[in-house]
Amino acid sequence: MKIFNRFIQISFLLIFIFITAQAQKKDSVLYIIGIDELDSIKYQTDDVIVTGTRTNQKIIDIPYSVVRIGLSQYKFDKKVSINDVLNVVPGVFMQSRYGNHDVRISIRGFGSRSNTGIRGVRILLDGIPESEPDGQTRIEAIDFNSLGSIEVVKGNSSSLYTNAPGGVVNFISDINFSKSFINQFNEFGSYGLRRNGIKAAIRTDSYGFLNTYTYHNYKGYRPHSEDYWHILNTALESTPGDNTNLQFLGYLATGLIRLPGSLTKEEFEDDPYQAAQREVDWDFRRISKKGRAAVRFDTKFGETLNNEIEVVGYGTIKYFERVARNSYRIFDRYGLGASVKYVNKSNIFEKENTFTIGGDLFYQTGPVSEFNSIGGAKGDELLSYIDETVGNTGLYLLNNFEIYNKQLYFLMSGRFDNVFFEQVNRLLGAQNYARRFEDFTPKFALNYKLFHSIAIYSSFGYSFDSPAGNELDNYPTSSDPGALMNPDLKPQQSTNFEVGVKGNLLNEESNLFTNTLFELTFFNTIVKDEIVPFEVYGNAYFRNSAKTNRRGLELGISSEIFSGFKTTISYTFSDFSYDEYIASSIDVDNQGEIILVDEDFSGNIVPSVPEHNLYFGLEYKHEIIPLVTGFIKGSIQSISGMYVNDANSNKTESYLTLNSTIGLEWIIDNFSLLLSGGVNNITDEVYVGFININSANGRFYEAGEPQTVFASLNFIYQF
């Protein structure tokens, strides 16, 4: 720990010395920008606004870690899965379970416990929750071809959003285009990858219309892992009056994914890309149909337009089939949601003050029916029929007050959440079970701008994360085995502290290191009653693990070394351990009787989180001849070994992957051609890409993507 503390001190000292040296250069100009077109000649500082923090703010003014990724940053890259795009963000770690969907997203350890779907991180699409009311998320509807930018808010966001202790990821549609265009895109790759689609956008003085359709088909690099999807995203924007904006947003996603399953260590070492026999025999798969329709109204008013009201309403549908051993479950879900927000910007005692108040409501209901499975086919025997209702309501307050000279600001925020579950068992005389979780989570933060473009910040707050619906499944040895929902599982709560420095250095005196964006953050989190998975006879359940301590460091640097040549460095250090953890596990004695065994995991390392996560990339973009631009990029990602369970009985090997991309963009009048291709995992490294945490039968391992080749071809016409 002494070495770790000294490392933090030295890191902050080096950053401060570098900032001071740059600031003292004669006629140096310092600007803050977002992570977007860093190779642009002019920097539009006023346009760098993020919305995932509930108010429109520049990155430099936000007292915690925020990253914004623009479409231009990944337009040449492979864009199949979320980890193809967000792996450059420090503090964010992703594990792709089946090579494409069901990606585990972990921010500062939150989300690492989920063996299916995303937990602990709030996922938004155009600012509207893609996460379900209980906080669990599947991202089938996220299509990178339809997006214009991505915002990542790292760290505790529970004072603004329900079940967001790890942060918020906001995917934003490409609705802010300036000219009408049509883009026909195609992507091909190893193992039968094919993605084709069309993106059409129309812009007039009063309207903007965006429509994107994508067809995805992929056989997968493991047997029994194929998937296909149809994804439609649409957005219509209008300006019915001055300073007023009206949007209609919608999507529809339908498809199928087959599951190859997790392997034992022996199976993985024998053939890491084989499918588990049980998953093949029972044809484990998921069939999904989901859609959403939403309307957003936003208006500004007042003599100086210092007041703003935003109202959002939306409806959702979801049909989901999940096939497992002896089980064929069908989910029908219907949801209604709304949010309202009021923002006032004014002066108090001649100091700037921004006050925000808002509320959210999301209600989802529908039946869950379970049938017997006959080799993966739905049988006629109805095993259970349960009406499920899940909802959350929340009210939040946010106030940002200037303390000193437009440099020092104090932010206060707080949210009250009510998350409720209700289940009615229709096969057992309409037996009713319900659970409710409520809490208030405050947060306090300071932001001090050393210069116009450099700030130091610190925050302290509490977070609250209720169990998800599937985490409430009851198990045989709970205090009430006959209940539908686990009566013993409690929400996890955490105390969060962070301190950091961020900024952007623009050096006009030299042709070297002309533009450097950086951020360094240290965080410390203490989690009480952390929710972790465990297995009983192959079925996954969840329990609380007492007290966890998480310390970490995030460093991100993006610098234009010279014109067109850029480097990106991202490093995350994670020191996560259980301070106190006595776990009861289920075992069978010599007579075949079920017994409970208490195990002390205190001092053990939290599984499925690497201690070191390093990304290093170099890219170069250059105009080869007039109107023809070439692009080349190479990257290295190094991940240290991870424990596979709370007992720390096994650990994966460290791994390193090399990736490369080349591209060519040719512009002829209103027509442009974008051609790109690349190789991922050039050395064909064999590694564990996903850890099935706390598997009782030792099936922890799922292989990461082997060497793959991809190519894309886009035809774009502007009019």
Query: Is residue 318 within 8 Å of 350, Cβ to Cβ?
Result: no
Q: What is the 3-class SS of 267-285, one letter each residue?
A: HHHHCCCCCCHHHHHCCCE
Query: Is residue 415 within 8 Å of 436, Cβ to Cβ?
Result: no
Q: What is the pLDDT of residue 338?
A: 97
Handedness of CA 134, 135, 139, 145 (dihedral sign): positive
Query: Is residue 388 within 8 Å of 469, Cβ to Cβ?
Result: yes
Q: What is the pLDDT of residue 427?
A: 83
Handedness of CA 508, 510, 511, 516 (dihedral sign): negative
Q: How far apart are CA 256 and CA 289, in angstroms?
A: 9
Task: State the DSSP code for 483.
Answer: S
Q: How far apart are CA 450 and CA 448, in angstroms?
A: 6
Q: How far apart are CA 272 and CA 290, in angstroms?
A: 33
Low-confidence ranges of the chain (pLDDT < 50): 1-47
Q: What is the pLDDT of residue 588?
A: 58
Q: How far apart are CA 428 and CA 470, in angstroms?
A: 20
Residue 22: which CATH number? 2.40.170.20
Rg, the chain, Cα only:
25
CA torsion angle 42 47 53 59 (round to 10): 30
Q: How would DSSP label each residue in 48-91? A: -EE-TTSS-EEGGG-SS-EEEEEGGGSTTS--SSTHHHHTTSTT
Q: How far apart are CA 260 and CA 327, in angstroms?
A: 17
Cα 489–chain centre separation: 25
Q: What is the pLDDT of residue 41?
A: 28
Name the token pair of 577: 């351990």
Record the pTM.
0.90
Q: What is the pLDDT of residue 114?
A: 76
Task: State the DSSP code for 137.
Answer: B
> What pLDDT, in 10s, does the model give residues 112-146?
877 777 888 999 999 999 999 988 888 888 899 99
Count of structural domains, the chain: 1
From the list 452, 449, 422, the residue with the least C-alpha distance to 437 is: 422
Question: Residue 99 contacts by C-beta under 8 Å, 6 or more apart in sequence?
Answer: 81, 218, 220, 221, 222, 225, 689, 705
Handedness of CA 318, 172, 634, 567 (dihedral sign): negative
Containing domain of residue 678, as a range? 2-718
